[in-house]
Structure 1
Amino acid sequence: MNTPIRSGTPDPFAPARLGPLHLRNRLIKSATFEGRTPDALVTDDLIDFHREVAVGGVAMSTVAYCAISPEGRTDRHQMWLRPEAAGGLTRLTDAIHDEGARAAAQLGHAGPVANSASNRAKALGPSRIPAPMGMSMTHALDVDDIAGLRAAFRRAARIAVDSGFDALEIHCGHNYLISCFLSPLLNRRRDAYGGSLINRARLAREVCESVRAEVGDSVAVWAKLNMFDGVGAVGAPPGRYRGFNVDEACAVAQLLESDGVLDAIEPTAGSSLLNPMYLFHGTAPRRAFADAFTGPMRWGLKAAGPVFLKHYAYRPGYLLPLARRLREAVDLPIILLGGITDRAGMDSALADGFDFLAMGRALLREPDLPQRIRADPSTASACIHCNLCMPTIYTRTTCPLREDASTSTDRYDIDRGFRE
């Protein structure tokens, strides 16, 4: 993040355009599951969460994990887009708009990350693979199922737009369903949706095209695209033991760009199924994760924590090395995610050619951080990247350090979380 600021580098706080949208600045609240929909519908708590972020100064707030169907949820408490949800969604977008920000909905299907036991429905996948949350195996989609999936994305997109959302993010990351189709490790099909990269990318392209066909040009549409699943080496050749890789990500980004239906790409990384910490970097709160579950999942996480929840050292702009590859591969606007927490990082990323900046954990700690950085460029984020916010998604997503001012970082242990 030491790129010198070139003449003409955009001001992160100046108005910008994303597709058809005029945004008040270049900062976007990234999709971070809120855990505030206990009945799978919008609550006042969810509205207050996004209103606070909008007041804090971002140009757009993204509502996370808006599942397109009931079996596409990570569990039954997660919201899915259906007519019954429209009234609450409209109240939500109205609240965001009232504070001068835009509203985006993240459309996705959890695939093998879904909890089939909680959802009381089979988890889906490109092939028959484990779905650990429900202690089950996935149902491998056939061609008719895939057609139904495209239709479900269209229906969800229509509900979102009719409810006032200005933008739609199509989730093609983290080994959710579309991301699983992209993965040579998880996609073992031998039909038109498996094998070659062209085939593995077919579902992502068809879903993006279906969504754009449904909503037209009145809203912005972008894809959240994995650059690396965190499985195998970054530069490893395709093979049985390697997940989706940055070389393939660049090729898929070019295919999506050639289709002419997206306004941007948001590169991401990691796998909720295989390696979640690669997305976040920083401390792996293993004990806190295990304590968020009961029964076999708790004991499984206690035993496999060091393997499943790996430690990756945090550094500002930690996804930049991979994202630069994607930046070079396409001309589409790129929304940079990962360790953007201060003015220096913002300026450096924009000087590198990125167009918009996504913020997540730092806004959980300080929703007004953008506003304060704009007022004082020397402002430092209070987020310490302890990742204790991650296990809270199973109850109500929050920053424990913000909720409990008495919490002291000197009691923090990398493997055990905060000591009693």
Structure 2
Amino acid sequence: LRARRGMAPFTQCMSPAHMRGLNVPDVLKKDFICNGPAETESRTCVTQVTVCPPSCSCNNNIVDCRRKGLAEIPANLPEGIVEIRLEQNQIKSVPAGAFTAYKKLKRIDLSKNQISDIAADAFSGLRSLTSLVLYGNKITELPKGIFDGLVSLQLLLLNANKINCLRVNAFQDLQNLNLLSLYDNKMQTISKGLFTPLRSIKTLHLAQNPFMCDCHLKWLADYLFDNPIETSGARCSHPRRLANKRISQVKGKKFRCTGQEDYRSRLSGECFQDLVCPEKCRCEGTVVDCSNLKLTRLPPHIPEHTTDLRLNDNEIAILEATGTFKKLPNLRKINLSNNKLRDVREGAFDGASGVLELLLTVNKLTGLQGRMFKGLSGLKTLMLRSNQISCIDNSTFTGLSSG
């Protein structure tokens, strides 16, 4: 550089510290020295993208990391890989851009891990990908756009997860998909149009899902009748009159919605968190049944669409003013019978103006305090039999003018 000063006029030293900022051509030859560990450092540049993970094997552009106890997806894999096998590890998440650098990938196998979280752009840019295997994980929801751009995908295995909802445009770019497995998940309904983009689909697996066969699932019965590609024998779980009936064989007039009971399935394509049933409870339409669970308080995250809340046969002793009913604008009936209820705090029913029926039978109430039922302005039926009531305050029923 001393001989060709015009070639790199701003080339400067970064280290060691006492030489930082000096122009390289101005440094004397005697000052270019190595001390200690620096003398042993390699001077060859190793391209990281050619590194095979220590515990894996890499042959013929296939990275095999099966059963290696991995907790995360290895980075800096060989750039030209066409297949990566990561099944049977302990991976819990797939981060953003996890595979984006490997444009030649044709197959990814992440089956039998512990995956519950996948970034929306985890598979972004993989236009050559033909097989994506995600079965046997803990996935509950797929982020918006996760499969966008996977135009070559032919096989998608999502079975044996906990998926409760699929956005209506989830498969919009998968026109070459041949096989889709959603077997053994938690889906109660599927939005009309979900499978429309799948112009090449030949095999569909939908069985072992708790399908609610109401008016919003009629389209699926029609679709499967016209396209007999569902080979796993998908059946209705609810309502009871259609339980265990094969969806493709149920007549269209049997798929009915009553009143507000279609809320849950009508919004399925949006994947609202509201569609998830409280833990251990049972949800059918807009009925949330949390009876016989030994509950000592109201369960959290009761869906907004709930019209009938069944809390009977539990161990609730005090009904606190938690604001729960302010979040349930569609609620019409509350069943708290057969608990251990001895006190209802003022404000416990705030926001429950739409409730028409309240059952408090077979509890341990000894007195009805003033304003105990505040907030129940629309109440028509109040059942209090089989308690130990000896005192009723003059203002107890103030505001209950609808009965």
TM-score normalised over the length of structure 1: 0.28
Give the number of the structure whose alpha-carbon radius of gyration is greater. Answer: 2
The structure with the greater share of residues assigned to helix is: 1
